[in-house]
Amino acid sequence: MLSENLEMFHPEHKNSFMCPTCLSIIPAANLGHISEAHIVPKSAGGKLKTFLCKKCNSMFGAKQDKWFGEIIRIANDKKKTLFTTAIRDGYFLIDDIKVNGHWERKQGGSFSFVIHTDRNSPGVNRMINEKFGKNPPEIKLSIPFPILRNQRLIEVGYLTAAYLMWFGLLGYSWALQSHLNHIRQQILNPDDEIIDSRYLFSVESVNWEPWIGLVSLYSDTVPAFGLKKHIVVLPPRDRPNYYSSLKKAKTNIKLSDIKTLKLPNKPFYGPPVCILYENQLVVFTEPSKSAIEHVHTILFTPDSRQGKIMRPVDKPTFDELKKLENTRYFDIKVPRA
């Protein structure tokens, strides 16, 4: 299905898959280089899937998805505390001395700490013995939480899930938008700060299942992704520098400040589509010239929560249609990315 979708954009790539994040082309003969990917990591209960090239999928698994999955797993846990973290360092600190060992939280709330004496230097073991030799021992214990050192990868994890869930809905109509290049670069380089994390907001009093839709926030309508208490906003097509307008935005927003239009979960892998909502061009692809006559617009009007698909026409047809009664028309000016 995705290969037929790709062909509608690039007729020269027959029977091929294009990775939605690195945009590399994989011919169907190399099926082994394509893998199924969870949009929200499986370890965090994610069920939605899409496809990625194997290289991207395994890189995300080792980087952003590892930490994103862990934070969602903690959010899903009844206790919602960091002590339920599954990814732990193999050490803790006793009076600021690094001691190799592991810790566990027992039922009832007590903790057990096991010191691996064979992995500590004799000097460390001696110091610890001295501390516990006192009666009663007076020590300060500190537990490191690696998840707190990986905040950036968690944020990129949210961004990756948002981008991939949109790809799951619109296929290459989504992935082939050049104004999302810096989003793809951030996803592919999760350790680097390519865009800052202005895209991620927390929202009180919600506990969303993953959803995508259009959100009106600070007078712009933008593609969005929601999960648990967070919302990711993505740049609309007519505002490629959208994030710089969010400079002064708070990271917490009230639910009443956002107006959402949820989209169906059924994939639309048809001809290239654009999405227009309240006169704002939210999604628009740049299909190759040979495919341009197939461009469709999904139109959302302010008075309807239902999308309609519209077909762009050339200038003479547009002028003819304008003369007809009961015709709704929009003259979309497509900005250059």
Interface residues with Zn ion (CB under 5 A) are: 19, 22, 53, 56
- Using the minimum distance from each CB to Zn ion, give the nearer residue, 34 or 195: 34
CB of 30 to Zn ion, least distance (A): 13
Please report, as a single letter, which amino acid is at residue 98. K
CB-wise, 17 or 91, nearer to Zn ion? 17
Q: Is 293 helix (H, G, I), strand (E, B) or coil?
A: helix
Vertex 259: Cα angle to 258 and 261 (nearest 5):
135
Shortest separation between residue 52's beta carbon and Zn ion, angstroms: 6
| Nearest distance in Å: CB 57, Zn ion | 8
Q: Compute the C-alpha angle 24/187/202, nearest 5°.
A: 145
Shortest Cβ distance from residue 151 to Zn ion (Å)? Answer: 25
Closest distance between Zn ion and the C-beta of residue 238, in Å? 27
Contact 82, 151 (CB under 8 A): no
Closer to Zn ion at the Cβ: 19 or 298? Answer: 19
For Zn ion, the closer of residues 192 and 319 by Cβ is: 192
Residue with tokens 């961004």: 159
Q: How far is the CB of 261 from Zn ion (least distance, A)?
A: 30
8: which residues sit within 8 A by CB, 6+ positions away?
A: 172, 270, 271, 272, 287, 291, 294
Q: At CB < 8 A and 24+ separation, what contacts does 293-296 make?
A: 294/8, 295/271, 296/270, 296/271, 296/272
Nearest approach in angstroms of CB 63 to Zn ion is: 13
Strand pairing category for 16-18 and 200-203: unpaired
Q: How far is the CB of 308 from Zn ion (least distance, A)?
A: 34
Q: Identity (one letter) of the amino acid at 75?
A: A
Cβ 59 to Zn ion, closest distance in Å? 8
Q: Which is nearer to Zn ion, 22 or 97 (CB)?
A: 22
C-alpha–C-alpha distance, residues 31 and 16, integer Å: 9
Q: Which tokens in the block code for residue 335? A: 């900005």
Closer CB to Zn ion, residue 22 or residue 75? Answer: 22
The CA distance from 337 to 333, in Å, is 12
Select 3 or 125, whichever has its Cβ closest to Zn ion.
3
Q: Strand (E) positions, the chain?
A: 16-18, 25-27, 34-38, 49-53, 91-94, 97-105, 111-115, 141-142, 200-203, 208-217, 220-228, 230-233, 252-253, 259-262, 273-277, 280-283, 296-300, 308-310
Helical packing angle, 54-62 and 64-76, nearest 10°: 60
Q: Which residue, 19 or 169, has its beta carbon nearer to Zn ion?
A: 19
Rounded CA-CA distance 207/230 in Å is: 9
Nearer CB in complex with Zn ion: 167/277: 167
